[in-house]
């Protein structure tokens, strides 16, 4: 966009300088030739800016895809770790419940024997 504005500014400047009747242009080119050259340059600048924008967009899409894949991998790793932690907690809870039941049974048996 900046290149387009610069090219348009250049074209306007060339047009204004070309309209000045006091001096002939330093290059010996006519106003029409200056405008044609400015238009050609603007066309090249627009093409370059479009190419640069396409390249930047492609890079941004690649970066977004990479970031998404990394986030998915991290989420999978965290889910796996959480599942492992839940499994261990379930084992511990089962062991604690079994221990409590055994202790309760032992207490009942002891009281029954008395």
Rounded mean pLDDT, 52-75? 92
Question: pLDDT confidence of 15, banded at 50, 70, 90?
Answer: low
DSSP notation for the chain: -HHHHHHHHHHHHHHHHHH-SSS--TT---HHHHHHHHHHHHHHHHHHHHHHHHHHHHHHHHHHHHHHHHHHHHHHHHHHHHHHHHHHHHHHHHHHHHHHHHHHHHHHHHHHH-
* pLDDT tens-place string over residues 19-47: 555 555 566 667 778 788 888 888 889 88
State yes or no: pLDDT of 18 exceeds 80: no
pTM of the model: 0.45
Instruction: Give percent above pLDDT 90 in the chain.
Output: 32
* Residue-range domain boundaries for the chain: 2-113
């Amino acid at each position: 966009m900046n290149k387009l504005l610069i090219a348009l500014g250049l074209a306007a400047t060339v047009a204004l300088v070309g309209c000045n009747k006091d001096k002939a242009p330093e290059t010996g080119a006519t106003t029409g030739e200056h405008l044609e050259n400015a238009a050609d340059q603007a066309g090249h600048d627009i093409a370059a800016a479009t190419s640069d924008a396409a390249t930047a967009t492609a890079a941004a899409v690649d970066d977004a895809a990479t970031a998404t894949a990394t986030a998915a991998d991290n989420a999978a790793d965290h889910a796996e770790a959480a599942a492992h932690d839940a499994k261990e907690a379930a084992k511990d809870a089962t062991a604690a419940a079994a221990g409590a039941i055994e202790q309760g049974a032992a207490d009942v048996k002891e009281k029954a024997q008395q």
